[in-house]
Amino acid sequence: MAGDYDVIVVGAGPGGYVTAIRASQLGFRTAVIDREHLGGICLNWGCIPTKALLRSAEIYHYLQHPAEYGLTVEGKVGFNAKAVVSRSRGVSKRLSDGVAFLMKKNKIDVIWGEARIETAPKGEAPGTVAVAETKRAQPPKGALGAGSYRGQHIIVATGARPRALPGIEPDKKLIWTYYEAMVPERMPASLLVMGSGAIGIEFASFYRTMGVEVTVVEVLPQILPVEDAEIAALARKRLEKAGIRIMTGAKVTKVEKGADEVTATVEDGKGQVQTIRAERLISAVGVVGNTENLGLEALGVGIERGVVRTDGLGRTNVPGIYAIGDVAGPPMLAHKAEHEGERCMDAIAGLHAEPLDKGKIPGCTYCQPQVASVGITEAKAKEQGLDIRVGRFPFVGNGKAIALGEPDGLVKTIFDRKTGQLLGAHMVGAEVTELIQGFVVAMNLETTEEELIHTVFPHPTLSEMMHEAVLDAYGRVIHS
């Protein structure tokens, strides 16, 4: 064997590298295997670089409206698309290099290549991972290469990839996934975004801010389908005000490719058919877990609807094989993957560990305006037959929001009428992706409305709206 380990983690994304660090902290000899880049999709092609792009768009937006802040800008405001992309890639590289540093610091071996878990003789638990050479990317300095490695515990953290619809498969030129959408050589004149989840709406917001004509097509009745309907409607209003054309209850049924544009046939659900031409199309219709070519099927590991079945602590039906993160199912979020990995390792080490409560995992969309939420929506609460109190507070009633020039938005809270339990919190507006964690902490501490009402929030801050939304649910709102 090229190496023997207590724990081998397959995949070095946020879930994988955090799991490896936790394993090392617990005293396990640990290795992590990857075929392309440390930090996974999140650091390299997802969460981080998109936020860098959106930050450039945000600053560009403010530069176009200096008079609103009593400022003047001489000359024409513009941008360099290549420089915007270059900054984003630089941010990703810095963080990916940081993961390499963390691996070295925690004495974790990095193995570079394509991993496949081999079957074991009858009666023995699988524990051998064959690693084949990969040419996807240059290995980080000091990484081990192809070979056969033995691990007592093997954790699959291989993430997910963009889902492709039949007949509308991405081609890297005219039909993009988030990979191509993050590194445009130039800004297209027009863009069609298929899907209005977080990925689709973030790209729609970015490209529209940079001056592109954007159309979003969503098959469901509302954009941001997992969000509270009231919050999604307010976000839609702002996005449409910014110039984004949004079609809900509609679907792209056919795409024809031209020399430098696509022609999409769109059915609106009411029998109407439209033709939309755009220079580029972004397919943002979800992701699917990377379960293939890992040897899981031969081992008998349970896979359902493209994700690995686990018991909530990462354990599969095959002893010694675990799965965490996107490959283990929704919500497919980096922070969910990290915490699943830590709990999986704690369980392996014999420490007290409980399955992650997915109802307390926050979701964030970094469009303009931002959207953030935790817990159940108002519609879901009613569907469950719960007797609820709903509180709302608008951004226009908050001094800090007005001072920032960001008076559009809403904070919404949902409480159980009988117990005072906080069931959900939903926000749309400036910086709500930072505010939501206050409600996440409150839910994890099983905080009631009384404790939130008596919590002192600093003034002037956007967070005061969180307090007011709680007060409103109980008929005590002050500034509205």
Q: What is the pLDDT of residues 45-79, one digit of tens each?
A: 999 999 999 999 999 999 999 999 999 999 889 99
**Per-residue pLDDT band at 135 (split at 50, 70, 90):** confident
Mean pLDDT to the nearest integer, 350-367: 97
Mean pLDDT to the nearest integer, 409-434: 98
**Per-residue pLDDT band at 120 (split at 50, 70, 90):** confident
The active-site residue, picked from 61, 454, 459, 467, is 459
| Average model confidence (pLDDT) across the chain | 96
pLDDT beyond 80 at 125 = no
What is the rounded CA–CA span in Å between residue 428 and residue 439?
Answer: 14
pLDDT tens digit sequence for 447-457: 999 999 999 99
> For residues 44 and 52, is the Cβ–Cβ distance under 8 A?
no
With respect to CATH, is domain 369-473 assigned 3.40.190.10?
A: no
The reported pLDDT for the residue numbered 299 is 95
The reported pLDDT for the residue numbered 240 is 98
Please identify which residue in the block is written with the tokens 């209005």. Answer: 196
The reported pLDDT for the residue numbered 143 is 94
CATH hierarchy code of domain 175-285: 3.50.50.60
pLDDT tens digit sequence for 80-93: 999 999 999 999 99
**Per-residue pLDDT band at 122 (split at 50, 70, 90):** confident
- 3-state secondary structure string across the chain: CCEEEEEEEECCCHHHHHHHHHHHHCCCCEEEEECCCCCHHHHHHCHHHHHHHHHHHHHHHHHCCHHHHCCCCCCCCCCCHHHHHHHHHHHHHHHHHHHHHHHHHCCCEEEECEEEECCCCCCCCCCEEEEECCCCCCCCCCCECCEEEEEEEEEECCCEEECCCCCCCCCCCCEECHHHHCCCCCCCCEEEEECCCHHHHHHHHHHHHCCCEEEEEECCCCCCCCCCHHHHHHHHHHHHHCCCEEEECCEEEEEEECCCCEEEEEECCCCCEEEEEECEEEECCCEEECCCCCCHHHHCCCEECCEECCCCCCECCCCCEEECHHHHCCCCCHHHHHHHHHHHHHHHCCCCCCCCCHHHCCEEECCCCEEEEEECCHHHHHHCCCCEEEEEEEHHHCHHHHHHCCCCCEEEEEEECCCCEEEEEEEEECCHHHHHHHHHHHHHCCCEHHHHHCCCCCCCCCCHHHHHHHHHHCCCCCCC
pLDDT beyond 80 at 150 = yes
Q: Do domains 3-161+288-358 and 175-285 have the same CATH topology?
A: yes
Q: Is the pTM of this model over 0.85?
A: yes
Angle, in degrees to the nearest 10, between helices 81-105 and 14-25: 20
Catalytic-residue membership of 467: no
Name the amino acid, one letter, at 466. M
The reported pLDDT for the residue numbered 2 is 59
Mean pLDDT to the nearest integer, 144-155: 96
Q: Is the peptide bond before 460 cis (omega within 30 degrees of 0)?
A: yes
Q: Is the peptide bond before 369 cis (omega within 30 degrees of 0)?
A: yes
End-to-end alpha carbon distance in the chain: 69
The reported pLDDT for the residue numbered 126 is 85
What is the rounded CA–CA span in Å between residue 382 and residue 231?
Answer: 16
The reported pLDDT for the residue numbered 124 is 75
pLDDT beyond 70 at 1 = no
pLDDT beyond 90 at 258 = yes
CATH class for the domain made up of 3-161+288-358? alpha beta
The reported pLDDT for the residue numbered 270 is 82
Domain-by-domain residue ranges, the chain? 3-161+288-358, 175-285, 369-473
> For residues 257 and 174, is the Cβ–Cβ distance under 8 A?
yes
> For residues 254 and 264, is the Cβ–Cβ distance under 8 A?
yes
The reported pLDDT for the residue numbered 380 is 98
**Per-residue pLDDT band at 161 (split at 50, 70, 90):** very high
Phi/psi of residue 215, each to 5°? -120, 130
The reported pLDDT for the residue numbered 359 is 95
Phi/psi of residue 479, each to 5°? -105, 30
The reported pLDDT for the residue numbered 178 is 95
Name the amino acid, one letter, at 411. V
pLDDT beyond 80 at 123 = no
pLDDT beyond 60 at 27 = yes
Mean pLDDT to the nearest integer, 292-306: 95
**Per-residue pLDDT band at 326 (split at 50, 70, 90):** very high
